[in-house]
Amino acid sequence: MRVDVIFYSNRKVFSRQHNLSVMKSSISKENISTVFKGIPKAAVAIVLALVVVAVFFVLRSLRNPEIPWFAISEIVPKEVGENMVGPIQRTVDGRAEQPVFFDFSRGSVVDKVDPYGWDLEISRFNIRSNGGDGFTGNGGILDLGEVDFTSVRTLPEEGYQQNNEERDITNVAIDRWYNYSWINHLLTPKANIFAIRTADSRYAFMEILSYYCAGAQAGCLTFRYYYQGDGSTDF
């Protein structure tokens, strides 16, 4: 008889605990249901999508991207005269506070002594031509778009944009030569080809390959180009 009473008593306690657990679960579900009741399903779907995207970006940021980099080219100016030369690849160190100057007719970085003796001004990712307000030369830049570098045979004679006061640190035609990643903060060159009218009205075209030098340090511009020294637009 005593055993039966204890067993019955235990059953009652278990039954009460079970009922309380069910009630708590029911209340929790009701609370959750009440919280989400006034939120449209579309909003919930958007929030979930944003969470998925955020997780995706975090996972991608943990990967170590491969950064193409090149050794800085030696500064050895050599006049090519009226010859056509190319393809030539150069890496210009633009990391200093002061800009550096590149001359296509000599295929090298040069000192800014002769106002007509340089064609591109390079300061990190900013590029200017030797032409426009405040510049001596007749240089300009024209974005040819995404074309095959090896397929260019002739360049336009018109349409080149010179520097202007609104873009005092870069030429608008080549302002966005890169894609910027918000994930790893790297600059990746676009596949665009840029036509260059030099300071003395000769022509070249170039493709930017990288923004990094040894040790994946930013600020070194690598590009390949053709230069036509006879003044024509034919290559």
| pLDDT tens-place string over residues 68-112 | 889 999 999 999 999 999 999 999 999 999 999 999 999 999 987
Task: Give a yes or no: residue 190 inside a domain.
Answer: yes
* The domain boundary residue, chosen from 46, 61, 76: 61
**What gap in Å lies between CA 121 and CA 218, rounded to an integer?**
17
Q: What is the mean pLDDT of the chain?
A: 82
Sheet holding 193-197, edge to edge: 84-93, 217-228, 203-213, 193-197, 140-145
Is the same domain home to 114 and 213? Answer: yes
pLDDT digits (tens, 9 = 90+) for 120-150: 999 999 999 999 988 999 999 999 999 999 9
pLDDT top residue among 18 and 65:
65
Is the same domain home to 210 and 102? Answer: yes
pLDDT at 18: 44
pLDDT at 174: 97
State mean pLDDT over 38-55: 64
Is the same domain home to 51 and 103? Answer: no
Question: What are the angstrom distances between the C-alpha of 167 and each of 139, 163, 174, 198?
Answer: 16, 7, 11, 19
Categorize the per-residue pLDDT at 37 as very low, low, confident or very high, splitting at 50, 70 and 90.
low
Q: Could you list the residue range(s) of the whole structural domain that residue 52 is in? A: 2-61
Categorize the per-residue pLDDT at 41 as very low, low, confident or very high, splitting at 50, 70 and 90.
low
Is the same domain home to 19 and 95? Answer: no
One-letter amino acid for residue 211 of the chain:
Y
* Cα end-to-end span (Å), the chain: 111
Low-confidence winner among 37-41, 66-70, 167-171, 186-190 (lowest mean pLDDT): 37-41
DSSP secondary structure string for all residues of 15-57? HHHHHHHHHHHHHHHHHHHHHHHTS-HHHHHHHHHHHHHHHHH
CB contact at 8 A, 108 and 75: yes
Task: Give a yes or no: residue 102 inside a domain.
Answer: yes
Q: Where does residue 190 rank: exposed (0-12), middle (13-18), buried (19+ CB within 10 A)?
A: middle
How many structural domains comprise the chain? 2
Query: How many helices (H) and strands (E) in the chain?
Result: 2, 11
Categorize the per-residue pLDDT at 43 as very low, low, confident or very high, splitting at 50, 70 and 90.
low
Is the same domain home to 42 and 89? Answer: no
Is the same domain home to 129 and 168? Answer: yes
Categorize the per-residue pLDDT at 168 as very low, low, confident or very high, splitting at 50, 70 and 90.
confident
Which positions ≥6 away from 126 have C-beta within 8 Å?
99, 169, 170
Helix (H, G, I), strand (E, B) or coil at 13: helix
Is the same domain home to 55 and 155? Answer: no
Is the same domain home to 213 and 97? Answer: yes
pLDDT at 144: 98
Task: Give a yes or no: residue 67 inside a domain.
Answer: no
Task: Give a yes or no: residue 233 inside a domain.
Answer: no
**What gap in Å lies between CA 151 and CA 112, rounded to an integer?**
33
Which positions ≥6 away from 211 have C-beta within 8 Å?
125, 178, 187, 189, 218, 219, 220, 221, 222
pLDDT at 145: 97
Categorize the per-residue pLDDT at 54 as very low, low, confident or very high, splitting at 50, 70 and 90.
low
Is the same domain home to 94 and 158? Answer: yes
Nearest one of 227, 232, 217 to 95, comparing CA atoms: 217
**What gap in Å lies between CA 37 and CA 43, rounded to an integer?**
12
Task: Give a yes or no: residue 164 inside a domain.
Answer: yes
Query: Is the confidence at residue 13, as pLDDT, over 60?
Result: no
pLDDT top residue among 182 and 194:
194
Tokens 């031509």, residue located: 129
Task: Give a yes or no: residue 128 inside a domain.
Answer: yes
Tokens of 82: 């009226």
Task: Give a yes or no: residue 79 inside a domain.
Answer: no
Nearest one of 89, 42, 67 to 189, comparing CA atoms: 67
Is the same domain home to 154 and 195? Answer: yes
Q: How many CB atoms lie within 10 A of CB 208?
A: 23
Low-confidence winner among 51-65, 120-134, 213-227 (lowest mean pLDDT): 51-65
Is the same domain home to 57 and 90? Answer: no
Is the same domain home to 22 and 109? Answer: no
Task: Give a yes or no: residue 76 inside a domain.
Answer: no
Query: Is the confidence at residue 15, as pLDDT, over 50?
Result: no
State mean pLDDT over 109-116: 88
